[in-house]
Amino acid sequence: MTDVDLPHTVREVLPDLLHEIRSVLGDRLVGLYLYGSAVSGDYDEGVSDIDLLAAVADDLGPGTLSSLDAGHRRFWAGHPDFLDRLDILYLPAASLSRELSAVDEPPVLATVSPGSPFRTGPAAQGWILNRRLVHDTGITLHGRPVESAVAGVPAGLVREAVARDVLSLRTGASRVTHRGGHAYVVLTACRALLTLTTARQASKAEAARRVRARWPRFRPVIDAAQEWRLSQAVRDETPLPSELSTQLAGLLDAVCAVAADCAGPATGEGAVRPASPAAESGSGTTGPSSPAVALPTPDRRPSRRAPGD
């Protein structure tokens, strides 16, 4: 299937998952691609999802969708550890192979994701980010090579998609009541901040490492979020300690301040407002030719090590 060094449990279960998908789609499965933490080196056993993108030859009718849903359920019955840990996008191959522009309508997709039933509808904004990840880092499990099947996405469109997502993230953060949700908000904010300031995407773990190193004042809430995620603290609904609540709000404010510069209409690679020379100074993350935006000021005071460092 692939010579890439994958996590042991992922390598064990992928043949069964591929079998279920291929048995339904047959020749309509143009390609199947693995991306995310399983290929980035940041996979956490028992916690991380399996992220897949399936390129399909045509729209999937109700009968096919029902059969795919049954296939997912058979996979979960055989591998219950992955219940609620599959994230699969089924997208038209024709839309994936075309260059993406700012005026393109989102394609219709079918998706199964953690916490949500199998469903269809127009792709949410985040599909652009997944497509970029697949193009840049995905590995081919079946069918057409990813390099020819999935066209790239301009960096400006990626940053604008992140900007819109993070503005929604802050709006929804006030409704989150459990630690699993808090972890998602914090680590998603870290990923967004990294993408907005460096024009590259990364795993939650890498983004958390880089943000906590550059902005030490956010270390306690980032460290707590990583602990909540690994412990699967979904049922813990005790109020956040005031210090962590303040830091979470501050992190979201910092990301949204950058996002505000990126959320305008897309015009391709040049859509993002360049940073001022002062903002670029000493950042250590953007080179002279890299697109940049105004950044929240890195911490200059001596850092304090958070518990668990």
pLDDT tens for residues 158-183?
888 898 888 888 888 988 888 888 99
Cβ atoms 125, 165 nearer than 8 A: yes
pLDDT tens for residues 201-237?
888 889 999 999 999 999 999 999 999 888 876 677 8
Mean pLDDT, to the nearest integer, of 11-23?
A: 97
Q: CA 292 to CA 197: how far, in whole Å?
A: 6
Three-state DSSP state, 139? strand
Give kind and range of the element (H or E) at residue 92.
Answer: strand 86-92
Q: What is the pLDDT of residue 230?
A: 84
Tokens of 175: 């409704």
At residue 88's C-alpha, the angle toward residues 152 and 71, to 5°, is 145
Domains and CATH numbers, the chain: 8-149 (3.30.460), 155-280 (1.20.120)
Total-model pTM:
0.76
Mean pLDDT, to the nearest integer, of 189-196?
A: 92
Higher pLDDT, 150 or 232: 150
Higher pLDDT, 274 or 62: 62
Q: What is the pLDDT of residue 283?
A: 33
The three-state (H, E, C) secondary structure of 58-74, written as one string? CCCCHHHHHHHHHHHHH
Indicate if the pLDDT at residue 47 is higher than 50.
yes
Indicate if the pLDDT at residue 240 is higher than 90.
no
Three-state DSSP state, 299? coil
pLDDT tens for residues 91-146?
999 999 988 776 677 888 899 998 788 999 988 767 888 999 999 999 999 999 99
The three-state (H, E, C) secondary structure of 266-298, written as one string? CECECCCCCCCHHHHCCCCCCCCCCCCCCCCCC
Q: How many CB atoms lie within 10 A of CB 22?
A: 17
Q: CA 7 to CA 114: how far, in whole Å?
A: 20
Residue 150 gets the label, from left (phi > 0), alpha (psi -120 to 50) or beta, of beta
**Terminal-to-terminal C-alpha distance of the chain:** 39
Q: CA 47 to CA 228: how far, in whole Å?
A: 11
Instruction: Please choose, from the candidates 7, 15, 84, 21, the residue with its C-alpha nearest in 3D space to the C-alpha of residue 54.
Output: 21
